[in-house]
Amino acid sequence: MSLVFEHVSLELGDGDQKVKALDDVSGSVSPGELAAVVGPSGVGKSSLLAVCGGLRSPTDGEISINEQSISGLSPAQLTRIRRDYIGFVFQQSNLVPALTSVDQLLLVPSLRGRRPTATDREHALALLAEVDMSHRADRRPDQLSGGERQRVGIARSLMSDPMVLLVDEPTSMLDHARGHAIVELLATRCVEHKVAALMVTHDATMLDSASSVMHIKDGQITQEH
């Protein structure tokens, strides 16, 4: 499943407070690719993820997933697309306070309307192991560090086997070595599972595993390679 954004602009605020968060940006990510968007804070990186995931509607332009435009879809249709095809890794892990690490992942099949199975639990534990969190599977978020919560959030995003993965600063709470390992894991899963992933980061040292890099400044893509 490919992800394409064409001539996308996004204006935020009203009247004199209106700001152009994105200004005519275009790009694409093919299955098996991890594309990185790099730039300092406040230049439009997270806004790009929001419109690509249907969390915000662009002011202009079009977002397509698997050659199907998501512009103009109803909220219910967008919810279904996000649930069935898109995985999100947020900068804040957004974990459910009452659930253990493994139950955070088992929430995914529950949200799809089915009771988690023993196979789901095995899958969840395997994903926690991939992010080096299997030893914390029975801990709730208040028993985890910020970096540990972030890794559980990454594992949860992979639980649904998404075809499009949108990743917001996945290494912001991790040390350098663990951050590299997480980005490498994401890149490997993209290749193995034919996932199209778009990752935003301010850390240019995390780009070794990226298939391509887009530099963004003041809401515009200034360089791509």
Q: What is the DSSP string of 121-146?
A: HHHHHHHHHHTT-GGGTT--GGGS-H
Angle at Cα 102 formed by Cα 203 and Cα 147, nearest 5°? Answer: 25
pLDDT at 191 (0 to 100): 95
pLDDT value at position 69? 92
pLDDT averaged per 10 residues, the chain (length 225) = 93 82 94 92 88 93 91 89 90 91 95 92 96 96 94 93 93 88 92 94 87 91 78
**Look-up: residue for tokens 């899958």?**
123
pLDDT on residue 44? 87
- Domains of the chain in start order, with CATH, are 3-224 (3.40.50.300)
Count the helices and strands in the chain (H runs, E runs).
6, 10
Residue 39 has a pLDDT of 85
pLDDT for residue 173: 86
Say if residues 195 and 221 touch (Cβ distance below 8 Å).
Answer: no
